[in-house]
Amino acid sequence: MAVLVTGGAGYIGSHTVAELNEHGFEVIVLDHLLNGHRQALFGTTLYEGDIADHKLIAEIIKKHAIDTVVHFAAMSLVGESVQKPLDYYEANVCKTRALLQTLAELGVQRFVFSSTAAVYGEPVQVPISEQHQTSPTNPYGDTKLSIEHMLRWCYNAYGMHSISLRYFNAAGAHLTLPIGEDHRPETHLIPLVVQAALGQREHVTVFGEDYETRDGTCVRDYVHVMDLASAHRLAVERLRHQQGVDVFNLGNGKGFSVKEVIDVVSRVTGRTVPTIYGARRAGDPAVLVASSAKAKEQLNWVLRHSDLETIVSSAVNWHSRHPGGFNE
Ligand SMILES: NC(=O)c1ccc[n+]([C@@H]2O[C@H](COP(=O)([O-])OP(=O)(O)OC[C@H]3O[C@@H](n4cnc5c(N)ncnc54)[C@H](O)[C@@H]3O)[C@@H](O)[C@H]2O)c1
Ligand SMILES: O=c1ccn([C@@H]2O[C@H](COP(=O)(O)OP(=O)(O)O[C@H]3O[C@H](CO)[C@H](O)[C@H](O)[C@H]3O)[C@@H](O)[C@H]2O)c(=O)[nH]1
């Protein structure tokens, strides 16, 4: 029995592939490599292709006796989704529908899904628990919520068991392997601030100073990518004995503002971060902070690396040693 990881050559996917390999799983990766990196896989079996390619997925499932799919492959930029909503419904909802159809036809019954804090929208209560209302403020979050809904009906109709992991802001880099964040273009705050501090980009722009937060900038819950990877492995293990459909938040429970992130990067690197202040980015809620009590209790999830200093230090280490990402 093997695990198929879609989007496994991407940022969170490759850290999860490393975690699954380390725990003795047979891992197969499917990625079209438009945003992923073959070098992040260290020889793990990779099929280059699309999640909507029925023939290819069916071949992989049969050849490797896949019994569980961990599904990362998606378009996942909040701002871009507001500009190009139909691209997001196509890439996320339509293509995941096609993938699920193939899995249902071939009788694959275990599915771990990369969901997101963006399903909640503007929070009514913080920290946000899984019971919080879901009301996305951007198309990206809405596509992920639609997939969660599909998964409920897939259990009802095909007996497909699933766990959706709603993660908050993934950040940091692997502490021992040479893998880290290399999105092109990079839009995430921590790599941008680190690169600005290291002189790899001119400056970072703070998107909005007029939010109702302690310093006017947006507050987010940053969770180390290796902690996310361990949660995925725990979810795969849980699906071996747990039936039904479930949802877990993954965050560290502490919120940091954009300005606070810049201060920590400045402290860790000993350098000033060239910063300019700009307008709000469309679709950004002011505050997103998780309650991950359920994951801690029921998945036995333990956060080992998610204090902001460790996250930032690991990112600084990755970006200093790999200024051109996986190209160098
Ligand atoms: N980065 C975050 O902070 C964050 C937070 C919450 C949720 N997520 C979700 O986690 C997942 C992974 O995020 P990431 O930051 O690692 O992204 P990423 O872009 O680094 O990885 C996604 C990978 O999927 C591949 N891919 C995309 N569409 C595909 C398709 N149709 N067929 C085959 N391969 C395809 C890409 O080439 C890429 O390697 C996404 O689903 C994202 O929505 C990310
Ligand atoms: O150049 C930048 C980039 C970001 N930000 C701010 O920094 C915060 C974090 O932004 P990111 O782009 O790093 O992350 P997001 O919160 O927009 O989104 C991330 O987390 C979400 C869940 O919270 C989604 O799942 C999504 O996939 C993932 O990219 C936001 O307030 C954003 O406005 C800036 O000020 N300047």
Cα separation, 201 vs 189, in Å, equals: 13
Decide the pairing of beta strands 66-71 and 245-250: unpaired
Return the ligand number nearest the Cα of 194.
2
- Dihedral sign, Cα of residue 275, residue 278, residue 282, residue 285: positive
Residue 105 C-alpha from the chain's centroid: 27
* Domain range annotation of the chain: 2-171+223-250, 189-220+253-327
Mapping DSSP to helix (H, G, I), strand (E, B) and coil, where does residue 83 land? helix
CATH number listed for the domain at residues 189-220+253-327: 3.90.25.10
Atom of ligand 1 nearest to the CA of 95: 31
Helical ranges in 26-166 per DSSP H: 54-64, 78-83, 85-88, 95-106, 139-158
Contact 163, 248 (CB under 8 A): yes
* pLDDT for 31: 98
Nearest ligand 2 atom to alpha carbon 188: 13
- In this prediction the ipTM stands at 0.97
At 46, the pLDDT band (50, 70, 90 cuts) reads: very high
Q: Average pLDDT in the 44-50 region?
A: 98
- Give catalytic residues, as residue numbers: 140
**317 CA → ligand 1 middle, Å:** 22
Question: CA of 23: how far to CAs of 29, 60, 176, 200, 233, in Å?
Answer: 16, 22, 16, 36, 8
Which numbered atom of ligand 2 lies nearest the CA of 278?
Answer: 35
Residue 328: band (very low, low, confident or very high) from pLDDT cuts 50, 70, 90: low
Q: Is 78 in the pocket of ligand 2 (CB under 6 A)?
A: yes
pLDDT (0 to 100) of residue 283: 76
C-beta 169 within 6 A of ligand 2? yes
State which fold the 2-171+223-250 domain adopts: Rossmann fold (3.40.50)
Report which bound ligand comes closest to the CA of 171. Answer: 1
CA distances to 68, 118, 119, 167 from 220, in Å: 31, 11, 14, 11
pLDDT exceeds cutoff 80 at 281: yes
Specify the range with the lowest mean pLDDT, choosing from 11-25, 219-233, 277-291: 277-291
Helix axes 189-197, 308-321, angle to 10 degrees: 60
Does residue 299 carry a pLDDT above 90? yes
Residue with tokens 């505050």: 287
Nearest CA to ligand 1 atom 15: 11
Q: What is the mean pLDDT of the chain?
A: 97
Instruction: Please write the tens of the pLDDT for every residue from 252-275.
Output: 999 999 999 999 999 999 999 999
Domain 2-171+223-250 and domain 189-220+253-327, same fold? Reply is no
Measured by CA distance, the residue closest to atom 35 of ligand 1 is 73
